[in-house]
A and B are shown apart, each in its own frame.
Chain A
Amino acid sequence: MDYLIFSLSLMLVYIGLAQLLHVQFGLLGIPNFGVVGFWGIGLYGTGVLFVEFSFPLLLAIIVASGLSAVLAYGLSVLVLQRSGQAILAATLAFAAIVSTLVITEKQLTNGVQGLGTIGFPFGDLANRNAIFLGILAGVVGILIWASARLRDSRLGRVMLAIRDNEELAASLGKDTSTTKRMTFAVTCGLMGLLGGLSAPLHQFLVPYLLAPSLTFAVWIALVLGGKAHNLGAMMGVFATFGLFDIVVETYAPVPPDYALLVPNFKLFCYGVLLVLIIMFRPTGILGEEGPKVRTTAPPARLPNAALGEE
């Protein structure tokens, strides 16, 4: 039961990250391949502040998420106006820098030996992990709701305009670079928040957690589910992490001799799924939502037509 709660909590973290990536890439068109870097700053920031400086957990999470947002803003000033491929390489490099620094700065992070332990909040309650699962579900629910609202807001329309044609949006007087930077910083800060919330889940932090595989898992889920659909992230995580890491690992009868092959087989399947989806259904399982157009407003009547009726 505890293991199932852990897996479900981890799945919620993946959904949250994929949802934020949906805002960054699906709505705004920024190919952020440094997801694990921003998540990792939240994770390790929380861990270091909590263990080494004995901050209260909530304060540690908030400070670490803020740090993630600030660094994301800095990076966005440097590279966000470059081509998509340059942004992709720069964010990937950023994540590599974060994971290397976690190994080298031993006096803070304890290096490869690992940093711990970070307990759940409400430590005196018996089902504290279930409560934490509930908190995560609340946070992820708010993220999904907020990005649905965002899409239909003025800001969301500016974001879609930037994704489709940035020069055109700029020529209509929209401040495209500020919009991109602020949205990128806020969403990366929220990735840091999810990282901070992951710290009590993992309890013991090791640099291995910051491997780029997390970034790719989130990308695969988002592309599979539908990058421009508000529920695409959730759908994609169900179809990848939910199916393979929860259903197969928990319930499928795998003979022990082959148990070690399962993770490799899973990643092989991810690769095949990704190729198939991009070749045959590039918008993902759910496709793209059209913008909601308000059709209930009555058509404006022309004044002279009104006169003619009289």
Chain B
Amino acid sequence: MLLLDAIFIGLLEASPLVLAAMGFTLIFYLNGFMNIAFAETITFGAYLAILFNVVLGLHFYMAIVPSMLFSGAMSVAVYLAIFRPALNRGVGPTEMIILSVGVSFMLRYGLILAVGPENLFLNEPRIAYMQFLGMGATNLQLIALVLVFAMAGLLYWIIYNTGLGEQMRGLANNHELAMASGINPHRTSVAIWFIAGCAGGLSGVFSGVFAQVTPYMGWNVILITMLVTIVAGIGSVRGALVAAVVAGILTAFITLVSKPLYSEVVLLLAFIGVLTFRGARAA
């Protein structure tokens, strides 16, 4: 019963993490560096939801779609303005990470300077408490869960079953060969950064509605997202999905049997252990 509880709570809590990890993985796979500024895509998703839901007064479910699309657009803008020129200049993978830290600081503190550091709340739709196989959840959590896994399925389909996904995998594995086969790297990259931005923004909207919207919300989940992605194997969207779900369930399980703060320690130690024994492909 404890295990079943853990799986259920874990799935509910992992749903934003699943999206964040999949979006992060896409960029990692395509461009070969960890984009710390992805944290800000998540945060901006939540703030865009505040804009559409609270400021402009749209219904929460209606606000999801424009927030997601604008996050994608922002992700593309950052790519075109900063990351693409840097990649063209031949900046190495570690320097790219430092660059993305810079971008992240710029966006986060720019946001604080623009809208202030206060925590904000979304206007939630009517909450109904439901019983589901003997376990309680709100309608919002269940809808989020369904939407997240629908998005995850869509992403999975795009990566493994469409021409765009094939082009992306081609570019990631052998850039020159892909270009010689007539793949336009520019168009594919823009599309991937847009999709990754949508996933990150949606993740932000859901973590915002479950708790609150703060300028640090993306930053707080980026470490766990990074670790999930590395453990999953670089560029494996399938692996990111599985690892994020496992991480969510593990956290829920440890939280149920001990203090919540220890779950973080155990999870991080488990990640270091996995890194040691499994390693990661040198980028």
Hey, which bits of chain A sit against chain B, CB under 8 A? 25, 31, 75, 78-79, 82-86, 88-90, 92-94, 96-97, 100-101, 103-104, 216, 219-220, 223, 261, 264-265, 267-268, 270-275, 278-279, 282
Asked if B109 is at the interface (CB within 8 A of a chain A CB), the reply is yes
Q: Is the CB of A86 within 8 A of B275?
A: yes
User: Which of B97-105, B122-130, B237-245 is near enough to bind chain A?
Assistant: B97-105
> DSSP class of B's interface residues: helix, strand, loop or mixed?
helix
Q: Is the CB of B98 within 8 A of A274?
A: yes
Q: Is the CB of A271 within 8 A of B113?
A: no
In Å, the complex CA distance between A103 and B259 comes to 12
Interface string of B81-115 (1 = CB under 8 A from A): 01001100101011101110111111111101100
Contacts of B101 in A (CB 8 A): 216, 219-220, 271, 274
CB distance from A209 to the nearest CB of B (A): 17
Q: With contacts defined as CB atoms under 8 Å apart, how many contacts are there between chain A and chain B in the complex?
A: 136
Known contacts A264-B117, A267-B109, A278-B95; decide if A272 and B264 are in contact (CB<8 Å): no
In the complex, besides A92-B223, A271-B101, A275-B99, 20 extra interface pairs with C-beta distance below 8 angstroms are A82-B275, A82-B276, A84-B93, A85-B94, A85-B97, A88-B94, A89-B226, A93-B268, A93-B272, A96-B223, A97-B265, A220-B102, A223-B98, A264-B112, A267-B105, A271-B105, A271-B109, A279-B82, A279-B85, A279-B89
Contacts of B102 in A (CB 8 A): 220, 270-275, 278
Asked if B230 is at the interface (CB within 8 A of a chain A CB), the reply is yes
Q: Is the CB of B226 within 8 A of A92?
A: yes
CB distance from A163 to the nearest CB of B (A): 11
Hey, which bits of chain B sit against chain A, CB under 8 A? 33-34, 82, 85-86, 89, 91, 93-95, 97-99, 101-110, 112-113, 117, 223, 226-227, 230, 259, 261-262, 264-265, 268-269, 271-273, 275-276, 279-283
Q: Is the CB of B265 within 8 A of A100?
A: yes
CB distance from A192 to the nearest CB of B (A): 19
Known contacts A270-B102, A271-B102; decide if A264 and B34 are in contact (CB<8 Å): no
